[in-house]
Amino acid sequence: MKPDCIFSLACAALALALTACGHESPHSEGHESSYVVTRVAARDVTLDREYVGQIHARRHIEVRALERGYLQNVSVQEGQVVEAGQPMFEIQPVIYQAELDKARAEASAARVEFENTRTLAENDVVSASQLAMAGAEVSRAQAEVDLAEAHLGFAQIKAPFAGIMDRLHVWDGSLIEEGELLTTLSDNSTMWVYFNVPETDYLEFMAAPAGVIGRPVELRMANGRTFETAGAIAAVEANFNNTTGTVAFRADFPNPDRLLRHGQTGNVVLSTSFPDSVVIPQKATFEILDHVYALVVDDENVVHQRRIEILAELEDLFVVRDGLSAGESIVFEGVHHARPGSEIEYEFREVELAYAELKTLAE
């Protein structure tokens, strides 16, 4: 017998043996129940994007001493809400009061000297230049009074705006140096929340017809609850961070109950609507070399591999930008077993039934 005949008989015997053991030929298709086919749907979907945000008070300043001296009085408490102009600290004013009294006395003497010089000038006893010098001396003395009053005013530190005090760094009797930190003050009537947006999201937001400034946002706090007052995007920074590929956005949130404090964190939630968009379950897709594909079934039940472009990703759905049209048939279950170009037998499932188990649409 010829060698090629022997080889053919051996192959046939091996195939029979595999069949007897329950193995199918590698070219055989699965059973009818192995595949479920449905149609591509068009739905109104909303995509929530979350970004980690840093919460800042609209105004957050350090309250420092403007003069050196002993702290005589602290009239506020840590964590207290203060009003604009409310006294907070007082440095011992004895020296500053003495300086003011001295300056006022010198100013009074200068005015008397000026009046005497003017009388003499009217009688041609002194020259006009001497009268001018006396007037300049009055102005200089008054300037010294104003300076002494300013120094005395520095001894009493008042709240520049309404806000919440932080902890105290000094107490009664402390020797205060000029510029020493006393406390911090936060105006948290409106909070500024900064968050970083990737470049792809930034381009999508900026391409929207309504733009990005004024776009409503929500704030999800650390306990998982949504802050009761909605905010809006108020600013986009000028420069991208080349290291992270992001740009900073700022959202403003009214804070009437002062629940939010400077330094908190939370997640900013931006919702984007995609009306009447082509959606496909993620389980009906697969990836090859970073590209996403779906299996389309034609009228003759033949499977075709189709590359699709994803516009947005939901929890269990893809919003398709290109590659599929609503109403096309796709393999819903058995994607990893069907082979492009082959004819399959399948169970057809209506869109509503096929998508009913998906959380995004079920909600």
Q: What is the CATH number that goes with domain 49-58+189-274?
A: 2.40.30.170
Q: What is the CATH number that goes with domain 30-45+275-362?
A: 2.40.420.20
Angstrom CA distances, 356 to 33, 214, 259, 359, stand at: 19, 36, 40, 8
- Among residues 72, 58, 315, the alpha carbon closest in space to that of 164 is found at 58
Mean pLDDT of all residues in 276-301: 92
Taking a C-beta distance cutoff of 8 angstroms, is the pair 130, 102 a contact? Answer: no
Query: How confident is the model at residue 359, as a pLDDT?
Result: 56
Say how far apart CA 113 and CA 107 lie, in whole Å: 10
Say if residue 13's pLDDT is above 80. Answer: no
Q: Residues 39-84: pLDDT tens digits?
A: 998 888 888 889 999 999 999 999 999 888 888 889 999 999 999 9
The structural architecture, per CATH, of the domain 93-154 is Orthogonal Bundle (1.10)
Taking a C-beta distance cutoff of 8 angstroms, is the pair 322, 306 a contact? Answer: no
Tokens 């004819």 map to which residue?
Answer: 343
Segments of the chain assigned to CATH 2.40.420.20: 30-45+275-362
Tokens read off for 189: 């009537």
Mean pLDDT of all residues in 188-198: 96
Query: How confident is the model at residue 351, as a pLDDT?
Result: 82
Segments of the chain assigned to CATH 1.10.287.470: 93-154
Q: Residues 266-285: pLDDT tens digits?
A: 999 998 888 888 999 999 99
Pairing of strands 36-39, 347-348: parallel
Say how far apart CA 99 and CA 147 lie, in whole Å: 9
Mean pLDDT of all residues in 145-154: 84
Question: Strand, helix or coil at 328?
Answer: coil
Q: Please return the burial class of 336, using the count of CB atoms within 10 Å of its CB with bins 0-12, 13-18 and 19+.
A: exposed
Query: How confident is the model at residue 30, as a pLDDT?
Result: 42
Helices 128-154/94-122 angle, 10° precision: 170
Taking a C-beta distance cutoff of 8 angstroms, is the pair 342, 30 a contact? Answer: no
Say if residue 24's pLDDT is above 80. Answer: no
- Among residues 1, 14, 27, the alpha carbon closest in space to that of 342 is found at 27
